[in-house]
Amino acid sequence: MKVTIGRTAEGVRGIFTTEEVLAGEPLIIIPDHLVLSVKNVAAAEAAPVLLKEMFLPCSRLKPYMDMLPKLGEVLTGYNFPEEYIKYLADPSMEDMVTQSFKRHAKATFKGQNNNHMEMTIPEAIGREDLNLTYWEHVVSLLSSRTFTIRKAALSMVPVIDLANHDPADINRLDSTTPDGVRLIAGKDLKPGEEVTITYGNMRSDELLLYYGFIDQLTKPPKVFLVDHRDYIPYEVTSMDEDPPLMGPLEDVVAETARLRKILAAFEGRLAGLGPLPDSNPYLRDTIKQLHAQRREAIIAEVARLEALAEVLRAGGGQADAGEGEGADDEL
Ligand SMILES: C[S@@+](CC[C@H](N)C(=O)[O-])C[C@H]1O[C@@H](n2cnc3c(N)ncnc32)[C@H](O)[C@@H]1O
């Protein structure tokens, strides 16, 4: 292990190198017997495995269980506080939280998720005192700290799961060697440098619901998933391949109008909401930043599209894909 646990300048716990590590060298190797593999299903169905481990007094993973964020320290769509949902200020995002994340977690808790479930989670775990709030917390732990390392199985990997997200990072996981799961440096790292990984090409709205934070690094922010021209509610679509729209002119004009409409609806919705509640200062501030990012992302994309439309009009409908300002090639 060539890392230690520390905190970023913003106070977020993470991992930092203890020595110089060159590109291609392992930063961390975690033996397989310390990996907790949960099922290859959504977080809610996998959570009993984690829950059992958390309550096992002699778990081989006890030190790991002890360092997991406690109740109230992790936030995702699964345990998103009810009073903040409307401040997402978007019908699709609000619907995702209530009808997808929270509904799924609740149905699983009550043993009503599918026909294979014969009992409630408290009955299955043998702890009648387990309440929905704690259950949502456990599901959130899984949502925010599992990796897909073998086939489709979700795994929790101690220490490596302390790596924070950087959208541009190139450090990578390797589980193909017999000695365990490795985190390999994708670049030369100096002593004391934070070791991050990328959680994927995720936009701030997705990051908030799956991980409880937003992307502060991408400038201007990416147009949110819910505002993306290919977004289909309830469909898990990979937006990894999302070259910026470059034409034809009528599509560019239509997309500009669509984004302007979204922005107007968003501003209207925001104007109708009162101030954000203060009960969770972190969430209050994060949602405020989310609003600012959504506005900034749409305004930047509209400006790009308008400039592009000018070029297309002047050039008879053709534009060079490399020319678009904001061409998204940094990930
Ligand atoms: C896999 S864990 C990483 C370790 C975590 N910071 C910890 O102390 O346990 C994922 C969680 O870390 C936090 N996180 C990760 N990347 C972040 C980032 N770039 N900015 C802020 N918080 C981040 C979020 O709370 C997220 O749910």
CATH number for the domain that contains residue 140: 3.90.1410.10
295 in the same domain as 264: yes
- The whole-number pLDDT of residue 303 equals 98
Separation between Cα atoms, residue 111 and residue 176, nearest integer Å: 36
295 within some domain: yes
324 within some domain: no
* Residue 176 · residue 17 · CB < 8 Å: no
233 in the same domain as 148: no
- The whole-number pLDDT of residue 324 equals 44
150 within some domain: yes
193 CB contacts (<8 Å, ≥6 apart)?
Answer: 16, 17
- The whole-number pLDDT of residue 330 equals 35
Residue list, ligand 1 pocket, CB within 6 Å: 12-14, 69, 74, 144-145, 161-162, 164-165, 211-213
Atom of ligand 1 nearest to the CA of 161: 1
- The whole-number pLDDT of residue 185 equals 98
* Residue 203 · residue 298 · CB < 8 Å: no
Q: Whose CA is nearest to atom 6 of ligand 1?
A: 13
| pLDDT tens digits in sequence order for the chain, 331 residues long | 999 999 999 999 999 999 999 999 999 999 999 999 876 656 677 788 899 899 999 999 999 999 999 999 999 999 999 999 999 999 999 999 999 999 999 999 998 877 777 789 999 888 899 999 999 999 999 999 998 877 667 899 999 999 999 999 999 999 888 889 999 999 999 999 999 999 988 999 999 999 999 999 999 999 999 999 989 887 766 665 678 899 899 999 999 999 999 999 999 999 999 899 999 999 999 999 999 999 999 999 999 999 999 999 998 655 555 444 444 433 3
The CA 217 to ligand 1 mean position distance, Å, reads 14
Closest CA to 78 of 100, 60, 62, 94: 100
241 in the same domain as 178: no
The angle that helices 102-109 and 132-145 make with each other, rounded to 10 degrees, is: 120
Atom of ligand 1 nearest to the CA of 165: 16
User: Strand, coil or helix: what is 262?
Assistant: helix
Ligand 1: which of 64, 211, 280 to mutate, judged by most atoms within 8 Å of the beta carbon?
211
- The whole-number pLDDT of residue 325 equals 43
110 within some domain: yes
Q: Whose CA is nearest to atom 23 of ligand 1?
A: 164
Atom of ligand 1 nearest to the CA of 69: 9
86 in the same domain as 185: yes
User: Strand, coil or helix: what is 183?
Assistant: strand
Instruction: Show the domain range for 238.
Output: 219-315
211 within some domain: no
The CA 234 to ligand 1 mean position distance, Å, reads 25
Number of domains in the chain: 2
Atom of ligand 1 nearest to the CA of 211: 27
Look up residue 175 and give its amino acid: S
- Rounded (10°) CA dihedral 288, 294, 295, 301: 160
120 within some domain: yes
239 in the same domain as 179: no
268 in the same domain as 151: no
Ligand 1: which of 28, 144, 149 to mutate, judged by most atoms within 8 Å of the beta carbon?
144
70 in the same domain as 116: yes
187 in the same domain as 227: no
Q: Whose CA is nearest to atom 20 of ligand 1?
A: 213
The CA 166 to ligand 1 mean position distance, Å, reads 10
8 in the same domain as 69: yes
The CA 40 to ligand 1 mean position distance, Å, reads 22
Q: Whose CA is nearest to atom 19 of ligand 1?
A: 165
160 in the same domain as 116: yes
Atom of ligand 1 nearest to the CA of 217: 19
